[in-house]
Amino acid sequence: DDAPTSKVQYNYQVRVSLVNLNCELNIPKSDVSRLRKIVINSLYSHKEIFLRELISNANDALEKLRLTSLTDRSIWDGSDHLNITIQAFKDEAGNGGRLVIADTGIGMSPEELTTNLGTLAKSGTSDFLSQAEGGDQTSTGNLIGAFGLGFYSSFLVADRVEVASVPPKTARNPNPIQHVFSSSADDSTFEVYPDPRGNTLGRGTEITLFLKPDAQEYLDETTLSALVHKHSAFSSAFPIYLFERWTEEVPDESQIVSEHGVEKEIEPTSPPASESDDDEVIVEEVPKVAENIPEPPPPNMVNVTKEQWSRLNSQPSLWARDPKAITTEEYNLFYTSFFKDFSKPLAWHHFAGDAGSGVAFKALLFFPTKLGEDYWQKPLEYASKDVKLMVKRVFITSDLGENALPKWASWVKVVIDAEDLPLNVSRETLQSNKFMKQLKSIIVKRMIQLFSKISEGDDKETFDQMQETFGSVLKLGAVEDTKNRVKLASLARFTTNQRNNTSFDQYLENRKKGQNQIFYLAEMGKEVKELAQSVFIEKLHARGYEVLLLTEPLDEILIGNLREWKGVSFQDVAKAGLKFGDEGNEIEQQKELEEKFKPLIEWLKNESNDAVRDVILSNRLVRSPCAIVADQYGYTANVQKMMSASNAKGNRGVLHDYAMKAKILEINPHSPLIAGLLRRVQGLPIGEEKDLDAEEELKEVTSILIDGALVRSGFGVPDNNKFFSRVDRVLRRSLGVSESATIEETVKPAPPPEKDFTVEPPALHFNGESENGKPEVILPDSMKDKVGFFWFLFYSCSNEATGFNRDGRG
Ligand SMILES: Nc1ncnc2c1ncn2[C@@H]1O[C@H](COP(=O)(O)OP(=O)(O)OP(=O)(O)O)[C@@H](O)[C@H]1O
C-alpha cells in the first residue's frame, strides 16, 4: 500500500537505535545488548550456523513468493527462476572479503527491512535470552533457529552486514525501489537507504557479509560447499548454486587468437539463468575453431582461472529415494536440517502409499528424541507445526486446519509428498480434499506402527528413550483418541511391585489362578519405591500378586477410561471391592472374626464420627493395624490430591461431598494393637460403674488411631490442631506429666517497624492452591505442567475414574 511513488520521497537515511526501538516495543533495553552478546560470544563455537540460517531464510522467501503467486499471478508468473546463490569475493590484496547470499524470493520493502531485521520485536526474544543464558552451550545453536533470531547469526562471522532487497512488482507497486539495510556487529544501530546501484536484483534479497578476520575460511568454496551439504542440502527444494573459481591448464589462447582469430572467452558474472535440473550450469563458452585449418602444432599450455555456477542440492529428495539405499547418517542429516532440530531423531518411518483415494504419496515420519517444553506446558493449545505437505517436491502447507492431528500426536515431524494433488488449489479447497481428510489417520497409523516396532524390537536404548519421552504421550493418546485407545494403551508401560516396563498384556500373563482383577495403586507424585511400601499392597505383595504402581497423574485417568483390559476389570487397591479370587475357604473363619470384633467395630463406628462411613475387617493388611480405603464411589487420596493440585472446583455439590467422605476404615484382626483395643473396649465399665476418664482416654487413643490410618492411607487429618493436642495429651500421660501444667511464656516483642523499607512478596512455590490461598500440594517440577491439563481431561472429558459423570451423577 505504501509503495514509493517517487525517488525523492524515499531518498532518506533512517538511523534508528535498536535500543530506542525496543523500548517502544516494550522489550527491555538490556535485551539488545544481551542478544548481541549471546550471538557473538556464546555461539562462537557454532558460528558456521550462519549459512544454514541465511539459506533457510532465503528458502522461506522463495516459498512465500511461490505461495503468494498461486493467488496473484502478477507477483510471479513462473517465467523467471527461483533460486539461491552463494558467491565469495576475496579482496584483491588477499585480506578479508565478502560473502554474498542472494535469493529471488519475496524481497522486503524498506519498512519490512526495518521491522524484520532491525527490531527484535519477536515475542520469543526474552524467552530465548533466558534459555540461551541458562542452558548449555550445545543447545544454543538449536535455540537460535527456534526463536527466529536466524538473521542475527550473520554477526558471528561478519563485522558488517548489508542487505539489499526489493519486493516483486505488483499492480499497486509497479516500480519497487531496491533498498539497503546496513548494520555493524559492534554497535546497536542500523541504516536503511535506497540502493545507490539502483534495482540490480529485479526481485529478491542479497545479503552481503563483510567477513571478520577470523572468518576468512568462509571465502573458500570447498568449505562453503561442504557446509551447504552438511546443513542445507535437504532444507530447500529450490536450487542452491555456488559460484566456483578454479585454475586449469589450457592451451594458450593468445596464440590461437593471433593465429586463427578466435573469439575470446566470456567471463561469467551473473547467476545461472536457468533452473534446470542439470547438476551444473556452465557459463563458460567453448572456443569456436575455424574449419579447414591444417592440424596446428601442440599449443603452449597456460594456467587460466575458470568459473561456473554449480548446483549444490541436485540429488532427489530423500523421501523419493529407495529406503534401502539411504544411510542412517543421511536420515539424521535430513532430519536436522529439514526440521531444524539439532539433536538426532529417535526413530523414523519411510513409507509410500496411495491413501485409498488414488493419491500416491511418499512420506518420511520422524520421532524426535525429546519433546519441546511447550508441548507439556500447553498441550491443549499445541498445534502441529511439522507436518509438511508437499506436492511434487513443492511445499504447500503445514496447516492441516480441521484435519489437524490429535493433540497427543501433534509433535510428530512428517514430510509427505503427494503426486497427484493440484498445485494451485486454494487453502480452503485443499482442506476439503479427500486426501487431506485421510492424512490424519495415515500419519497416526504409521506412528502407532513405529511405536510398536520399537516396543517389539531388540534395541533397548531406543525403547527406554521412547518410554522416557513418549510414555505419558501414549497414555494421553489412549485417553484422547478413542479410536486408537486400545492400541495406544497396549504400548503404555508401568512399573509394578515386581518389575518395570510392564504392559497390560504382560500383567495378564502373570495373573494368578482365580484372579479376576487387575490390581493397581495410584498416588501422583510419589516415588515408586514409596508406593511399594504402601499399606494397601501389604497382603497382595506378601502373597505374590502383581500390583501396578502408578505415579503419574494421567495413569488414574487412563484406567478410569479403560475400566477393563481384555475383560478383566481394574481394581484400585485403595478402594473397597478388592478380591484375590481364592477367598472361598475362609468364609467360616471370617464370620468368627466378625463376631469377635463386633464390639470394637461398633465402638469405632461411633467414634469415627464423620471421618468414615463404615468400619470393616480388612483382608488387605498384614503389618498395619488399620487403613482407610475409599468406598466404590468415593475419592481416593490420589484423586483428592489431583483435584487440589489443579485447583479444580468441579462440581462441588452433594455428590462431591459424598465422594469426599465415602471412606471405609478397615481394621486388621491379626494386629496386636487392634486386639489390645478390642480388650480395652470390652473392659470398659458400663452402667453405674462407668469410668468417664477411662472412656475419654480410650476415645483419644481411638481418634489417634483413625487419624494415623488416614495419614497412612494418603489422606490428611481433618484437623491438625486437634490431632496434635490429642497426641500431646497422650504423651503427657505416658510420661507422667500433668495435663494441666502450662508453658511459661517469656516472649520478646519484635522491634518497631523500620522506615523506608519495602519488602517484595516472597515467590510462592506451590502448584495447587486451596480455597484459602494456601499451598496444598507440592509436586515435583516434572509434574507441575501436566497436572492442570490432566485434571482437565479427568474432569471435563469423563469423570469415570471416580465413577461419576461430568454432572456428578453416579
Ligand atoms: N532472504 C529474505 N527474504 C525476505 N525476507 C527475509 C529474508 N531474510 C529474513 N527475512 C525476513 O526477516 C525476518 C527475520 O528473519 P530471522 O532470520 O531473524 O527470523 P525468522 O526467519 O523469522 O526465524 P528463523 O530464522 O527461526 O526461521 C523473517 O521472518 C523474514 O520476514
pLDDT digits (tens, 9 = 90+) for 673-710: 999 999 999 998 877 777 788 888 899 889 899 998 99
* 597 close to 669: Cβ distance less than 8 angstroms: yes
ipTM: 0.98
Mean pLDDT of 747-757: 80
Distance 416 CA to ligand 1 centre (A): 25
CB of 57 within 6 A of ligand 1: the answer is yes
pLDDT for residue 185: 74
For the cut 60, the answer to whether the pLDDT of residue 810 exceeds it is no
Position in ligand 1 atom list of the atom nearest CA 144: 26
- Residue 808: phi and psi, rounded to 5, are 90, -5
User: Above pLDDT 90, what percent of the chain?
Assistant: 39
Distance 150 CA to ligand 1 centre (A): 7
For the cut 80, the answer to whether the pLDDT of residue 585 exceeds it is no
Q: What is the DSSP string of 441-497?
A: HHHHHHHHHHHHHHHHSS-HHHHHHHHHHHHHHHHHHHHH-GGGHHHHHHH--BEES
Neighbours of 424 (CB within 10 A): 11
Distance of CA 610 to the CA centre of its chain: 45
Distance 405 CA to ligand 1 centre (A): 27
Mean pLDDT of 730-759: 80
Residue in the structure block whose three cell numbers are 479444580: 648
Beta strands in 221-297 (DSSP E): 240-251, 280-281
Kindly report which listed range (10-14, 113-117, 613-617, 677-681) carries the lowest average pLDDT score: 10-14
> Is 108 assigned a ligand-binding role in the annotation?
yes
Residue 138 belongs to what H/E stretch?
helix 137-146
Nearest Cα residue to 65 out of 86, 87, 51, 83: 83
Distance 54 CA to ligand 1 centre (A): 8
pLDDT digits (tens, 9 = 90+) for 22-45: 333 344 444 566 666 666 666 666
Compute the distance between CA of residue 227 and CA of residue 337 in angstroms, rounded to an integer. 11
For the cut 90, the answer to whether the pLDDT of residue 595 exceeds it is yes
* 25 close to 119: Cβ distance less than 8 angstroms: yes
Residues 6+ apart with CB under 8 A from 531: 521, 523, 537, 549, 550, 551
Buried b (16+ CB within 10 A) or exposed e, 482-513: eebbebbbbbbbbbbbeeeebbbeebeeebee
Distance 116 CA to ligand 1 centre (A): 7
Residues 6+ apart with CB under 8 A from 503: 490, 491, 492, 493, 494
Kindly report which listed range (486-490, 639-643, 668-672) carries the lowest average pLDDT score: 639-643
CB of 50 within 6 A of ligand 1: the answer is no
pLDDT for residue 662: 86
Average pLDDT, the chain: 79
Q: Whose CA is nearest to atom 30 of ligand 1?
A: 116
pLDDT for residue 280: 37
CB of 103 within 6 A of ligand 1: the answer is yes
| Helices 125-134 & 29-37 angle (0-180, nearest 10) | 50
> Is 71 assigned a ligand-binding role in the annotation?
no
For the cut 70, the answer to whether the pLDDT of residue 55 exceeds it is yes
Distance 560 CA to ligand 1 centre (A): 47
pLDDT for residue 385: 82
For the cut 80, the answer to whether the pLDDT of residue 758 exceeds it is no
For the cut 80, the answer to whether the pLDDT of residue 286 exceeds it is no
pLDDT for residue 702: 92
pLDDT for residue 772: 44
Torsion sign over Cα 281, 284, 290, 294: negative
Strand 626-630 versus strand 663-667 pairing type: antiparallel
CB of 53 within 6 A of ligand 1: the answer is yes
Instruction: Choose the residue to mutate in 35, 60, 201 for probing ligand 1, maximizing ligand atoms within 8 Å of C-beta.
Output: 60
pLDDT for residue 222: 93
CB of 105 within 6 A of ligand 1: the answer is yes
> Is 57 assigned a ligand-binding role in the annotation?
yes
Compute the distance between CA of residue 551 and CA of residue 638 in angstroms, rounded to an integer. 9
Compute the distance between CA of residue 525 and CA of residue 784 in angstroms, rounded to an integer. 10
Q: Whose CA is nearest to atom 23 of ligand 1?
A: 148
pLDDT digits (tens, 9 = 90+) for 110-167: 999 988 887 653 444 556 666 666 655 445 555 555 555 678 888 889 999 999 999 9
CB of 204 within 6 A of ligand 1: the answer is no
| Highest mean predicted confidence (pLDDT) among 177-191, 280-294, 697-711 | 697-711
Nearest Cα residue to 180 out of 19, 40, 14: 14
Residues 6+ apart with CB under 8 A from 285: 263, 265, 266
Position in ligand 1 atom list of the atom nearest CA 204: 3
Distance of CA 222 to the CA centre of its chain: 37
pLDDT band at 195 (very low <50, low <70, confident <90, very high): very high
Position in ligand 1 atom list of the atom nearest CA 147: 26
Q: Whose CA is nearest to atom 19 of ligand 1?
A: 148
For the cut 70, the answer to whether the pLDDT of residue 18 exceeds it is no
For the cut 80, the answer to whether the pLDDT of residue 281 exceeds it is no
Residue 638 belongs to what H/E stretch?
helix 637-645
Residue 102 belongs to what H/E stretch?
strand 97-103
Comparing 28 with 542, the larger pLDDT belongs to 542
| Highest mean predicted confidence (pLDDT) among 146-160, 285-299, 455-469, 693-707 | 455-469
pLDDT for residue 402: 82
Comparing 135 with 617, the larger pLDDT belongs to 617
Q: Whose CA is nearest to atom 8 of ligand 1?
A: 57
Position in ligand 1 atom list of the atom nearest CA 207: 1
pLDDT for residue 646: 62
Mean pLDDT of 515-528: 92
Distance of CA 105 to the CA centre of its chain: 31
Compute the distance between CA of residue 487 and CA of residue 476 in angstroms, rounded to an integer. 12
0.80 surpassed by pTM: no
* 414 close to 319: Cβ distance less than 8 angstroms: no
pLDDT for residue 463: 96
Mean pLDDT of 321-335: 91
pLDDT digits (tens, 9 = 90+) for 330-386: 899 889 878 878 789 999 999 998 866 678 899 999 999 999 877 887 766 777 888
Beta partners for residue 520, in sequence order: 548, 572
CB of 61 within 6 A of ligand 1: the answer is yes
- Residue 303: phi and psi, rounded to 5, are -85, 125
- When computed from its CA atoms, the radius of gyration of the chain, rounded to whole angstroms, is 37
Beta partners for residue 163, in sequence order: 181, 207
> Is 205 assigned a ligand-binding role in the annotation?
yes
> Is 123 assigned a ligand-binding role in the annotation?
yes
CB of 56 within 6 A of ligand 1: the answer is yes
pLDDT for residue 773: 42
Beta partners for residue 165, in sequence order: 179, 205
CB of 150 within 6 A of ligand 1: the answer is yes
Comparing 115 with 188, the larger pLDDT belongs to 115
Instruction: Return the DSSP state at 211.
Output: E
Sheet of 345-353: strand order equals: 345-353, 361-368, 413-418, 387-391, 394-397
pLDDT for residue 279: 39
| Highest mean predicted confidence (pLDDT) among 8-22, 284-298, 675-689 | 675-689
CB of 168 within 6 A of ligand 1: the answer is no
pLDDT band at 270 (very low <50, low <70, confident <90, very high): low
> Is 53 assigned a ligand-binding role in the annotation?
yes
pLDDT for residue 93: 74
For the cut 80, the answer to whether the pLDDT of residue 202 exceeds it is yes
pLDDT for residue 802: 40
CB of 116 within 6 A of ligand 1: the answer is yes
Instruction: Choose the residue to mutate in 50, 116, 125, 166 for probing ligand 1, maximizing ligand atoms within 8 Å of C-beta.
Output: 116
pLDDT digits (tens, 9 = 90+) for 243-262: 998 888 888 767 655 444 44
Distance of CA 4 to the CA centre of its chain: 44
pLDDT for residue 518: 97
Q: Whose CA is nearest to atom 14 of ligand 1?
A: 116
Distance 183 CA to ligand 1 centre (A): 16
Compute the distance between CA of residue 36 and CA of residue 96 in angstroms, rounded to an integer. 22
Question: Dihedral of the CA atoms 49, 54, 57, 62 (nearest 10)?
Answer: -130
Range 558-562 contact pairs with CB under 8 angstroms and sequence separation of 24 or more: 558/475, 558/478, 558/479, 558/489, 558/492, 559/520, 559/522, 559/801, 560/794, 560/798, 560/799, 560/800, 560/801, 560/802, 561/478, 561/479, 561/485, 561/797, 561/798, 561/800, 561/801, 562/478, 562/485, 562/489
Mean pLDDT of 633-651: 72
Compute the distance between CA of residue 515 and CA of residue 570 in angstroms, rounded to an integer. 11
Mean pLDDT of 565-589: 88
Q: Whose CA is nearest to atom 12 of ligand 1?
A: 116
Strand 97-103 versus strand 626-630 pairing type: unpaired
3-state helix, strand, coil in the chain (%, to 5): 40, 15, 40
Compute the distance between CA of residue 46 and CA of residue 342 in angstroms, rounded to an integer. 12
pLDDT band at 629 (very low <50, low <70, confident <90, very high): very high
For the cut 60, the answer to whether the pLDDT of residue 287 exceeds it is no
Distance 212 CA to ligand 1 centre (A): 22
For the cut 80, the answer to whether the pLDDT of residue 775 exceeds it is no
